[in-house]
Amino acid sequence: MTRLSVNINKIALIRNARGGNVPDIIKAAGACERYGAQGITVHPRPDERHIRYHDVQVLKPAIKTELNVEGFPSKKFLNLVKKIKPHQVTLVPDPPDALTSNAGWDTVKNASLLRDTVQQLKSCGIRTSIFIGTDLKMIEHARHTGTQRVELYTEPYSRNFHLNRKKAIAPFIRAANLANQLGLGINAGHDLNLENLNFFVKNIPFLHEVSIGHALVSDALYYGLERTIGMYLKELSGG
């Protein structure tokens, strides 16, 4: 079954709105794991508006499943992940002021940066994933970076799902098939939710992992965290 990694950035955002340590992200991450999540994702940004760099350091020893740390490979970010050695680092091309991830890597223009970064992370025993769109050329060149996985940027799929789900999924099927043929593991994330997740998973049968934060935390406001994680796991297992 495709693994569920819960992105807890929005939980940290609530905490930061009032200062202090409520909600406690360590307790929140632990609860997600107890309720069935197979991983925890965080994305520290330069302005630390949600997850802070210190949070990542204290989360690592507390995580019992897998810790996935997303970010742009700045010197500060690389120093952090090489120090704590998370199970996976997902490289994203976000500029410092980005509200959220909104595009995948150009693996041609950034080939040298990505190759060097992947090599650094591999030397520390860290699995790497590259955030990427469905352009087949970009996926082909992702292989040359040495990355073990790619994470498909699914916002276009989510945006068009209700208009024409078969058309929306088509480029992702092609991209995933190529990545699989090239020996790349496949993750996915961005705007996946209870409505569109099951259809995506059914059409990408070799999907390793999905990272879901905003929709899952929002759903938890209505259903509670334990029930919500159970609902997402049900969708991942076939509904």
User: Could you confirm whether 54 is annotated as catalytic?
Assistant: no
Name the residue among 6, 8, 13 with its Cα closest to residue 37. Answer: 6
User: Could you confirm whether 190 is annotated as catalytic?
Assistant: yes
* Residue that has been written with the tokens 């965290």 in this structure: 225
List the catalytic residue out of 33, 50, 66, 70: 70
List the catalytic residue out of 33, 66, 141, 190: 190
Element (H, E) at 86: none
Digit-by-digit pLDDT tens for the chain (239 residues) are 899 999 999 999 999 999 999 999 999 999 999 999 999 999 999 899 999 999 999 999 999 999 999 999 999 999 999 999 999 999 999 766 655 566 799 999 999 999 999 999 999 999 999 999 999 999 999 999 999 999 999 999 999 999 999 999 999 999 999 999 999 999 999 999 999 999 999 999 899 999 999 999 999 999 999 999 999 999 999 86
In order of 22, 41, 175, 217, the CA distances from 19 in angstroms are 8, 22, 42, 19
CA distance 191 to 197: 9
User: Could you confirm whether 226 is annotated as catalytic?
Assistant: no
Q: 0.75 cut: is pTM over it?
A: yes
- For residue 44, say if its preceding peptide bond is cis, omega within 30 degrees of 0: no
Q: Does domain 3-236 have CATH number 3.20.20.70?
A: yes
